[in-house]
Amino acid sequence: MVTLTLKKGREKAVLRHHPWIFSGAVQSLSGEPGSGETVAVRDSGGNFLAWGAYSPKSQIRARIWSWDEGQSINPSFFEERIRTAIKLRETLIDPQSTSAYRLIHAESDRLPGLIVDRYNETLVMQILSAGIEHWREEITDILIKLINPNGIYERSDVAVRGLEGLEERVGALCGKIPQRPILINENGIKFKVDLLGGQKTGFYLDQRDNRQFCRAIAQDKSVLNCFAYTGGFTAYALAGGAESVLSIDSSVEAIHLAKENVLLNQGSLENCEWIVGDVFKELRTLRDGGRQFDLVILDPPKFAPTASQAKQAARGYKDINLYGFKLLKPGGTLMSFSCSGGIDELFFQKIVADAALDAEVDAQILYRLSQSPDHPTHLAFPEGSYLKGLVVRTGN
């Protein structure tokens, strides 16, 4: 077993059970571990700290599996972790009303780099670390054993794999994968999800509870849903009795599916307007046209994946929030989100505050929202908390 020894004084994060070891903290290696192989992590005095997966190309040189010296990193270890993650979801999800949710949330389920989403009887798996890549077949077998899905589809088609020295890859890992969009249930609302071609693993499962929140406040409101994707917030707002919903997204395919989703749930496209276009531009057009709404939803894609892009991203958030406020009726509500890991909650709040100031509205935060609990944040891994939402009400 290869030993990875940390520089003197660099063991603090590991002792606090943070799962990442950066290359700059590494003093030496006793051998040449392959990508994803298990190493023993020790402090500069030779004391055991943890077992981790080695990643030769990554800035994150190792990700911790366990802090228990007596633990063997083998298939039973992964089976135990996966069992624990599944059990948690059993306490969170009512299968009667919700058939799609995140089963494994990587670092926060103590399985660094592994995402598994469940869509009915199909699992979609995304591998983001050298360690999980190393155990890919064993993990697939464990998922088959514990869940017995109809199929497991791998969607490791994300650029961050490059940082781990891994190629992008998609394809069936086992079983039959639906080639056409499938019908899922979320809080009793139906959605078609394209597992093969959709964004992320097909659906933005992390917004489930926030969509439910939207349903609860939508009664009789005129709603503007920006970055609508396949109509998640749109369908919930309509189910909550919204008077009208205007949905904007730049993706033709997404809006096409959004319309199908509304049809599935209310049987017609009544009270709906659709725009395929760029939100930055369309918000200005709506403003120029004198349009006003009771509820504006802003759920943009990740403008700042890391802190280095935060400044540039802040301009984007500021712009859409400024126009979001301008398009609200007095006493209106803004639901504004950021899923950028590089922008923390306080910074996001400041951006929204700046936007309100420029829009010359007086506004109060009523609720703070975050990702749904099937996307937990491990307390030792604050980076796991990426989705921030503010529900803001403007003055009359």
Q: Which residues bind ligand SAH (CB under 6 A)?
A: 199, 204, 207, 227, 229-230, 232-233, 248-251, 254, 278-280, 299-301
CB of 280 to ligand SAH, least distance (A): 6
Residues β-bridged to residue 363: 394
CB of 66 to ligand SAH, least distance (A): 35
The three-point CA angle 293-233-305 to 5° equals 105
Tokens of 343: 């922008």
CB of 319 to ligand SAH, least distance (A): 11
Residue of this chain nearest to ligand SAH (CB atom): 232
Tokens of 380: 């030792």
Pick the closer one to ligand SAH by CB: 25 or 320: 320
Pick the closer one to ligand SAH by CB: 110 or 118: 118
Pick the closer one to ligand SAH by CB: 254 or 328: 254
Note if 339 is an active site residue: yes
Select from 189, 197, 198 the least CA-distant residue to 234. 189
Pick the closer one to ligand SAH by CB: 37 or 206: 206
CB of 181 to ligand SAH, least distance (A): 14
Contact 210, 186 (CB under 8 A): no
Distant-in-sequence, close-in-space partners of 63: CB < 8 Å, separation ≥ 6: 19, 20, 21, 52, 53, 55, 107, 112, 113, 129, 131
Contact 238, 271 (CB under 8 A): yes
Pick the closer one to ligand SAH by CB: 138 or 260: 260
C-alpha–C-alpha distance, residues 219 and 174, integer Å = 44
Other C-beta atoms within 10 Å of 220: how many?
10
Q: What phi and psi, each to the nearest 5 degrees, are found at residue 252?
A: -60, -45
Of 214, 226, 272, 339, which one is the catalytic site residue? 339
Contact 165, 173 (CB under 8 A): no
Tokens of 53: 């997966």
C-alpha–C-alpha distance, residues 393 and 283, integer Å = 19
CB of 94 to ligand SAH, least distance (A): 20
Pick the closer one to ligand SAH by CB: 177 or 184: 184
Pick the closer one to ligand SAH by CB: 147 or 160: 160
Give the pairing type, strands 122-127 and 388-394.
unpaired
C-alpha–C-alpha distance, residues 168 and 192, integer Å = 25
CB of 292 to ligand SAH, least distance (A): 20
Q: DSSP state, 33? A: P
Tokens of 14: 């590991």
CB of 120 to ligand SAH, least distance (A): 17
Positions marked active-site: 339
